[in-house]
């Protein structure tokens, strides 16, 4: 009986370790995306302000544009489909 109890405790300990490894914190990805617990990638919303993005990408991000401009407006004016595309074509580091 003692072996059975030890075996159950060992299995429970392995499950606990696996469960603790499965829960990931948000990892910062490209272009301000983050990995959620399910592995899904979330994107910046169109209502994100340029001045907020400047905190991430530097003061030179969207130079000549107002800080209160929304990301959706910036993308529309530049003809970019996404923040990633804008960064590749317009943002020089």
Phi first, then psi, for residue 64 (nearest 5°) are 85, 0
| Tens digits of residue pLDDT in 6-36 | 777 776 666 655 555 554 444 444 455 555 5
Confidence at residue 8, expressed as pLDDT on a 0 to 100 scale: 73
pTM recorded for the entire structure = 0.54
- CA 51-45-41 angle, to 5 degrees, is 120
| Tens digits of residue pLDDT in 59-85 | 999 999 999 999 999 999 999 999 999
DSSP 81: S
Confidence at residue 53, expressed as pLDDT on a 0 to 100 scale: 93
């Amino acid at each position: 009986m003692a072996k059975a109890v030890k075996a159950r405790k060992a299995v429970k300990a392995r499950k606990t370790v696996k469960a603790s490894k499965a829960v990931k914190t948000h990892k910062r990805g490209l272009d301000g995306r983050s990995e959620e617990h399910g592995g899904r990638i979330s994107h910046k919303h169109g209502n994100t302000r340029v001045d907020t993005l400047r905190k991430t990408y530097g003061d030179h991000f969207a130079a000549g544009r107002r800080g209160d401009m929304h990301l959706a407006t910036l993308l529309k004016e530049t003809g970019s489909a996404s923040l990633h595309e804008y960064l590749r074509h317009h943002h020089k580091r």
